[in-house]
Homo-oligomer: A and B are copies of this chain.
Amino acid sequence: MENAALAQEVLSGNRRALARAITLVESTRPDHREAAAALLEQLAGAGREAIRIGLSGTPGVGKSTFIESFGLMLANQGLRVAVLAVDPSSTRTGGSILGDKTRMEQLSRHPRAFIRPSPSQTHLGGVARRTREAVALCEAAGFDIVLIETVGVGQSETVVAELSDVFLLLLAPAGGDELQGVKRGIMEVADLIVVNKADGDLKASANRTCADYAGALRLLRRRPQDPEGFPKAMTVSALEQEGLDRVWAEIRTLLDWRRDTGHWQGRRAAQARHWFHAEVRQTLLARLETPQARELTKALCTEVETGQTTPGKAASALVTQLWPEMSRDPVTESLDLARDTP
Protein backbone atom coordinates (compact mmCIF):
# COMPACT_ATOMS: atom_id res chain seq x y z
CA MET A 1 0.00 0.00 0.00
CA GLU A 2 1.23 3.47 -0.77
CA ASN A 3 2.02 5.81 2.07
CA ALA A 4 -0.81 8.23 1.33
CA ALA A 5 -3.34 5.40 1.13
CA LEU A 6 -2.01 3.87 4.35
CA ALA A 7 -2.32 7.25 6.07
CA GLN A 8 -5.95 7.53 4.93
CA GLU A 9 -6.75 4.05 6.20
CA VAL A 10 -5.13 4.74 9.57
CA LEU A 11 -7.06 8.00 9.89
CA SER A 12 -10.29 6.15 9.12
CA GLY A 13 -9.59 3.91 12.11
CA ASN A 14 -8.88 0.72 10.16
CA ARG A 15 -7.19 -1.61 12.63
CA ARG A 16 -5.42 -3.66 9.97
CA ALA A 17 -3.90 -0.52 8.51
CA LEU A 18 -2.89 0.55 12.01
CA ALA A 19 -1.19 -2.80 12.57
CA ARG A 20 0.63 -2.44 9.24
CA ALA A 21 1.70 1.11 10.12
CA ILE A 22 3.09 -0.07 13.45
CA THR A 23 5.03 -2.81 11.67
CA LEU A 24 6.46 -0.09 9.44
CA VAL A 25 7.67 2.06 12.36
CA GLU A 26 9.12 -1.03 14.03
CA SER A 27 11.30 -1.80 11.03
CA THR A 28 14.95 -0.78 11.07
CA ARG A 29 15.36 -0.89 7.28
CA PRO A 30 16.42 2.58 6.07
CA ASP A 31 13.69 2.81 3.39
CA HIS A 32 11.09 1.74 5.95
CA ARG A 33 12.41 4.31 8.43
CA GLU A 34 12.02 6.99 5.78
CA ALA A 35 8.50 5.91 4.92
CA ALA A 36 7.63 5.74 8.62
CA ALA A 37 8.89 9.29 9.23
CA ALA A 38 6.84 10.58 6.28
CA LEU A 39 3.75 8.72 7.49
CA LEU A 40 4.06 10.10 11.01
CA GLU A 41 4.50 13.61 9.64
CA GLN A 42 1.35 13.23 7.55
CA LEU A 43 -0.69 11.88 10.44
CA ALA A 44 0.53 14.49 12.91
CA GLY A 45 -1.49 17.04 10.96
CA ALA A 46 -4.71 15.40 12.14
CA GLY A 47 -3.99 16.72 15.62
CA ARG A 48 -5.75 13.83 17.37
CA GLU A 49 -5.01 13.08 21.00
CA ALA A 50 -5.77 10.10 23.22
CA ILE A 51 -5.48 9.69 26.96
CA ARG A 52 -2.20 7.86 27.39
CA ILE A 53 -2.20 5.57 30.42
CA GLY A 54 1.09 3.98 31.46
CA LEU A 55 0.85 0.77 33.47
CA SER A 56 3.63 -1.08 35.23
CA GLY A 57 3.62 -4.20 37.36
CA THR A 58 5.85 -7.22 37.93
CA PRO A 59 4.77 -10.65 36.65
CA GLY A 60 2.10 -12.20 38.86
CA VAL A 61 0.26 -9.05 39.90
CA GLY A 62 -2.49 -9.77 37.39
CA LYS A 63 -1.59 -7.20 34.75
CA SER A 64 -3.28 -9.06 31.87
CA THR A 65 -6.47 -9.59 33.85
CA PHE A 66 -6.50 -5.94 34.86
CA ILE A 67 -6.02 -4.72 31.30
CA GLU A 68 -8.65 -7.13 30.02
CA SER A 69 -11.24 -6.04 32.61
CA PHE A 70 -10.36 -2.35 32.57
CA GLY A 71 -10.16 -2.24 28.77
CA LEU A 72 -13.49 -4.03 28.35
CA MET A 73 -15.18 -1.65 30.77
CA LEU A 74 -13.95 1.36 28.76
CA ALA A 75 -14.77 -0.24 25.40
CA ASN A 76 -18.27 -1.06 26.60
CA GLN A 77 -18.72 2.60 27.49
CA GLY A 78 -18.14 3.37 23.82
CA LEU A 79 -14.47 4.33 24.08
CA ARG A 80 -11.88 3.01 21.63
CA VAL A 81 -9.00 1.36 23.52
CA ALA A 82 -5.52 0.51 22.22
CA VAL A 83 -3.08 -1.60 24.26
CA LEU A 84 0.66 -1.49 23.57
CA ALA A 85 3.25 -3.58 25.40
CA VAL A 86 6.79 -2.49 26.21
CA ASP A 87 8.73 -5.53 27.30
CA PRO A 88 12.49 -5.39 26.83
CA SER A 89 12.74 -8.88 28.33
CA SER A 90 10.30 -10.62 26.03
CA THR A 91 13.05 -12.26 23.98
CA ARG A 92 14.49 -13.87 27.07
CA THR A 93 11.62 -14.82 29.33
CA GLY A 94 9.56 -16.41 26.60
CA GLY A 95 6.59 -14.94 28.44
CA SER A 96 5.07 -13.64 25.25
CA ILE A 97 5.29 -16.85 23.28
CA LEU A 98 1.57 -17.26 23.73
CA GLY A 99 1.13 -13.68 22.62
CA ASP A 100 -0.64 -10.77 24.22
CA LYS A 101 -3.84 -11.51 22.35
CA THR A 102 -4.15 -14.87 24.06
CA ARG A 103 -3.60 -13.17 27.39
CA MET A 104 -6.49 -10.78 26.78
CA GLU A 105 -8.87 -12.89 24.78
CA GLN A 106 -12.13 -11.02 25.23
CA LEU A 107 -10.63 -7.58 24.83
CA SER A 108 -8.78 -8.60 21.66
CA ARG A 109 -12.09 -9.61 20.06
CA HIS A 110 -13.87 -6.36 20.99
CA PRO A 111 -14.62 -4.18 17.94
CA ARG A 112 -13.44 -1.03 19.71
CA ALA A 113 -10.17 -2.53 21.00
CA PHE A 114 -6.74 -2.92 19.43
CA ILE A 115 -3.96 -4.96 21.05
CA ARG A 116 -0.41 -4.88 19.83
CA PRO A 117 1.87 -7.65 21.14
CA SER A 118 5.35 -6.49 22.11
CA PRO A 119 7.90 -7.05 19.36
CA SER A 120 11.02 -8.97 20.23
CA GLN A 121 13.97 -6.64 20.57
CA THR A 122 17.10 -6.01 22.53
CA HIS A 123 17.89 -2.32 22.30
CA LEU A 124 15.90 -0.17 24.73
CA GLY A 125 16.56 3.03 22.79
CA GLY A 126 14.83 1.41 19.85
CA VAL A 127 11.95 0.27 22.06
CA ALA A 128 11.38 3.81 23.23
CA ARG A 129 11.18 5.27 19.74
CA ARG A 130 9.04 2.47 18.35
CA THR A 131 6.61 2.72 21.25
CA ARG A 132 6.35 6.49 21.00
CA GLU A 133 5.62 6.20 17.30
CA ALA A 134 3.09 3.40 17.86
CA VAL A 135 1.31 5.65 20.39
CA ALA A 136 1.19 8.45 17.80
CA LEU A 137 -0.29 6.03 15.25
CA CYS A 138 -2.97 4.87 17.69
CA GLU A 139 -3.88 8.50 18.36
CA ALA A 140 -4.11 9.23 14.64
CA ALA A 141 -6.35 6.17 14.25
CA GLY A 142 -8.79 7.85 16.60
CA PHE A 143 -8.33 5.76 19.74
CA ASP A 144 -9.54 7.48 22.90
CA ILE A 145 -7.33 5.55 25.28
CA VAL A 146 -3.83 4.20 24.71
CA LEU A 147 -2.75 1.84 27.47
CA ILE A 148 1.01 1.32 27.51
CA GLU A 149 2.01 -1.68 29.56
CA THR A 150 5.42 -2.68 30.88
CA VAL A 151 6.74 -5.35 33.23
CA GLY A 152 9.18 -2.81 34.58
CA VAL A 153 12.45 -4.46 33.63
CA GLY A 154 15.42 -2.10 33.63
CA GLN A 155 14.60 1.35 32.36
CA SER A 156 11.29 0.46 30.72
CA GLU A 157 9.18 2.29 33.34
CA THR A 158 11.04 5.48 32.56
CA VAL A 159 10.32 4.96 28.88
CA VAL A 160 6.63 4.43 29.59
CA ALA A 161 6.42 7.31 32.07
CA GLU A 162 7.90 9.61 29.40
CA LEU A 163 5.08 8.57 27.07
CA SER A 164 2.12 8.73 29.42
CA ASP A 165 -0.29 11.33 30.70
CA VAL A 166 -0.92 9.26 33.80
CA PHE A 167 1.06 6.37 35.26
CA LEU A 168 -0.43 3.42 37.17
CA LEU A 169 1.55 1.03 39.30
CA LEU A 170 -0.20 -2.31 39.73
CA LEU A 171 0.66 -4.38 42.82
CA ALA A 172 -0.42 -7.63 44.41
CA PRO A 173 -1.32 -7.91 48.12
CA ALA A 174 1.89 -8.23 50.13
CA GLY A 175 2.49 -11.30 52.26
CA GLY A 176 3.97 -9.53 55.26
CA ASP A 177 3.38 -6.10 56.67
CA GLU A 178 6.20 -4.40 54.85
CA LEU A 179 6.13 -2.54 51.56
CA GLN A 180 6.91 -4.68 48.58
CA GLY A 181 10.22 -4.44 46.84
CA VAL A 182 9.12 -1.60 44.61
CA LYS A 183 12.06 -0.18 42.76
CA ARG A 184 13.32 3.18 43.96
CA GLY A 185 12.09 5.91 41.70
CA ILE A 186 8.87 4.21 40.64
CA MET A 187 6.99 5.78 43.56
CA GLU A 188 8.07 9.12 42.13
CA VAL A 189 6.53 8.49 38.71
CA ALA A 190 3.36 6.68 39.84
CA ASP A 191 0.13 8.70 39.92
CA LEU A 192 -2.07 5.85 41.10
CA ILE A 193 -1.02 2.77 43.04
CA VAL A 194 -3.53 0.01 42.36
CA VAL A 195 -3.49 -3.05 44.61
CA ASN A 196 -5.08 -5.87 42.64
CA LYS A 197 -6.57 -9.18 43.84
CA ALA A 198 -8.77 -7.55 46.50
CA ASP A 199 -11.01 -10.60 46.41
CA GLY A 200 -11.55 -13.87 48.29
CA ASP A 201 -8.83 -14.82 50.76
CA LEU A 202 -6.59 -11.95 49.68
CA LYS A 203 -9.10 -9.15 50.30
CA ALA A 204 -7.96 -8.27 53.83
CA SER A 205 -4.34 -8.48 52.81
CA ALA A 206 -4.99 -6.22 49.81
CA ASN A 207 -6.61 -3.63 52.08
CA ARG A 208 -3.63 -3.71 54.43
CA THR A 209 -1.19 -3.35 51.54
CA CYS A 210 -3.20 -0.44 50.20
CA ALA A 211 -3.19 1.27 53.61
CA ASP A 212 0.58 0.77 53.86
CA TYR A 213 1.12 2.47 50.52
CA ALA A 214 -1.37 5.22 51.28
CA GLY A 215 0.64 5.91 54.44
CA ALA A 216 3.90 5.92 52.52
CA LEU A 217 2.48 8.27 49.89
CA ARG A 218 1.40 10.73 52.58
CA LEU A 219 5.05 11.02 53.60
CA LEU A 220 6.06 12.20 50.14
CA ARG A 221 6.14 15.86 49.31
CA ARG A 222 3.24 16.90 47.09
CA ARG A 223 4.33 17.31 43.48
CA PRO A 224 3.34 20.48 41.58
CA GLN A 225 1.55 18.42 38.92
CA ASP A 226 -0.82 16.84 41.45
CA PRO A 227 -4.10 18.02 42.94
CA GLU A 228 -4.76 17.43 46.66
CA GLY A 229 -4.78 13.72 47.51
CA PHE A 230 -2.56 12.49 44.68
CA PRO A 231 -0.70 10.20 44.15
CA LYS A 232 -3.37 7.86 45.51
CA ALA A 233 -3.48 4.19 46.50
CA MET A 234 -6.57 2.05 45.90
CA THR A 235 -7.66 -1.59 45.71
CA VAL A 236 -9.34 -3.38 42.83
CA SER A 237 -10.34 -6.88 41.88
CA ALA A 238 -9.71 -7.27 38.18
CA LEU A 239 -11.06 -10.81 38.43
CA GLU A 240 -14.39 -9.71 39.92
CA GLN A 241 -14.33 -6.42 38.03
CA GLU A 242 -14.60 -4.38 41.20
CA GLY A 243 -13.14 -0.93 41.68
CA LEU A 244 -12.26 -0.45 38.02
CA ASP A 245 -14.78 2.37 37.62
CA ARG A 246 -13.15 4.14 40.56
CA VAL A 247 -9.73 3.84 38.89
CA TRP A 248 -11.18 5.42 35.75
CA ALA A 249 -12.85 8.19 37.77
CA GLU A 250 -9.59 9.01 39.55
CA ILE A 251 -7.71 9.12 36.25
CA ARG A 252 -10.24 11.58 34.85
CA THR A 253 -10.19 13.73 38.01
CA LEU A 254 -6.41 13.89 37.85
CA LEU A 255 -6.22 14.64 34.12
CA ASP A 256 -9.01 17.23 34.22
CA TRP A 257 -7.12 19.05 36.96
CA ARG A 258 -3.89 18.86 34.98
CA ARG A 259 -5.58 20.20 31.85
CA ASP A 260 -7.15 23.08 33.78
CA THR A 261 -3.85 24.04 35.41
CA GLY A 262 -1.71 23.66 32.28
CA HIS A 263 0.30 20.76 33.70
CA TRP A 264 -1.03 18.38 31.06
CA GLN A 265 0.16 20.67 28.25
CA GLY A 266 3.45 21.27 30.02
CA ARG A 267 4.07 17.56 30.35
CA ARG A 268 3.32 16.91 26.69
CA ALA A 269 5.67 19.74 25.68
CA ALA A 270 8.43 18.38 27.93
CA GLN A 271 7.92 14.91 26.45
CA ALA A 272 8.12 16.33 22.93
CA ARG A 273 11.39 18.07 23.82
CA HIS A 274 12.76 14.86 25.31
CA TRP A 275 11.87 12.81 22.23
CA PHE A 276 13.29 15.40 19.90
CA HIS A 277 16.65 15.31 21.68
CA ALA A 278 16.59 11.51 21.66
CA GLU A 279 15.87 11.55 17.91
CA VAL A 280 18.73 13.95 17.27
CA ARG A 281 21.18 11.68 19.10
CA GLN A 282 19.93 8.61 17.26
CA THR A 283 20.00 10.37 13.89
CA LEU A 284 23.61 11.36 14.43
CA LEU A 285 24.73 7.96 15.67
CA ALA A 286 22.90 6.24 12.81
CA ARG A 287 25.36 7.97 10.44
CA LEU A 288 28.03 5.61 11.81
CA GLU A 289 26.19 2.65 10.30
CA THR A 290 26.92 3.48 6.66
CA PRO A 291 29.33 1.19 4.76
CA GLN A 292 32.17 3.71 4.55
CA ALA A 293 31.80 4.71 8.20
CA ARG A 294 31.95 1.05 9.20
CA GLU A 295 35.00 0.43 7.05
CA LEU A 296 36.93 3.38 8.43
CA THR A 297 35.81 2.53 11.98
CA LYS A 298 37.16 -0.98 11.56
CA ALA A 299 40.53 0.23 10.27
CA LEU A 300 40.94 2.78 13.05
CA CYS A 301 39.79 0.28 15.65
CA THR A 302 42.64 -2.03 14.68
CA GLU A 303 45.10 0.84 15.14
CA VAL A 304 43.66 1.53 18.59
CA GLU A 305 43.79 -2.14 19.59
CA THR A 306 47.42 -2.45 18.59
CA GLY A 307 48.31 0.74 20.41
CA GLN A 308 49.30 2.70 17.28
CA THR A 309 46.95 5.51 18.30
CA THR A 310 44.75 6.54 21.23
CA PRO A 311 40.97 6.16 21.28
CA GLY A 312 40.48 9.94 21.37
CA LYS A 313 42.80 10.63 18.44
CA ALA A 314 41.24 7.85 16.38
CA ALA A 315 37.73 9.11 17.11
CA SER A 316 38.66 12.62 15.94
CA ALA A 317 40.26 11.16 12.83
CA LEU A 318 37.12 9.16 12.07
CA VAL A 319 34.77 12.11 12.33
CA THR A 320 37.12 14.46 10.47
CA GLN A 321 37.66 12.06 7.60
CA LEU A 322 34.01 11.09 7.24
CA TRP A 323 32.57 14.58 7.62
CA PRO A 324 35.22 17.29 7.15
CA GLU A 325 32.64 20.08 7.31
CA MET A 326 31.58 19.00 10.78
CA SER A 327 35.05 19.79 11.99
CA ARG A 328 35.46 23.32 10.66
CA ASP A 329 35.60 26.07 13.23
CA PRO A 330 31.98 26.35 14.33
CA VAL A 331 32.00 29.86 15.80
CA THR A 332 33.02 31.70 12.65
CA GLU A 333 30.14 30.16 10.79
CA SER A 334 27.37 30.48 13.29
CA LEU A 335 25.82 33.62 11.83
CA ASP A 336 25.46 32.26 8.32
CA LEU A 337 23.97 29.01 9.47
CA ALA A 338 21.64 30.64 11.94
CA ARG A 339 20.19 32.68 9.09
CA ASP A 340 18.94 29.47 7.51
CA THR A 341 17.03 28.60 10.64
CA PRO A 342 13.36 28.14 9.82
Contact = CB atoms under 8 A, between A and B. Distances in A.
Interface of A: 36-37, 40-41, 44, 47, 129, 132-133, 136, 269, 272-273, 275-285, 287-288, 290-293, 295-297, 299-301, 303-307, 309-319, 321-326, 330-331, 333-334, 337-338, 340-342
Given A312-B40, A334-B290, A338-B292, A323 B326 contact: yes
A299 B317 CA distance: 31
Contacts of A129: 312
Contacts of A272: 304-305, 307, 311
Q: Is the interface of A mostly helix, strand, loop or mixed?
A: helix
B275 A311 contact: yes
Contacts of A323: 323, 325-326
A294 to B, nearest CB: 9
Chain copies in the assembly? 2
Contacts of A288: 280, 284
28 contacts: A37-B312, A37-B313, A40-B312, A40-B313, A41-B309, A41-B312, A269-B306, A276-B301, A277-B297, A280-B318, A283-B318, A283-B319, A284-B284, A284-B287, A287-B330, A290-B330, A290-B334, A292-B330, A292-B333, A292-B334, A292-B338, A293-B330, A295-B334, A295-B338, A296-B337, A317-B342, A321-B341, A324-B325
Given A291-B331, A321-B341, 9 more contacts: A41-B312, A41-B313, A272-B304, A279-B312, A291-B334, A292-B334, A296-B337, A321-B337, A321-B340
A172 to B, nearest CB: 22
A288 B284 CA distance: 10
Contacts of A304: 272-273, 275-276
B37 A310 contact: yes
A341 B305 contact: no
Contact of A314 (B279, B326, B333): B279
Contacts of A40: 310, 312-313
Contacts of A279: 311-312, 314-315
A284 to B, nearest CB: 5
A45 B293 CA distance: 27
Contacts of A305: 269, 272-273
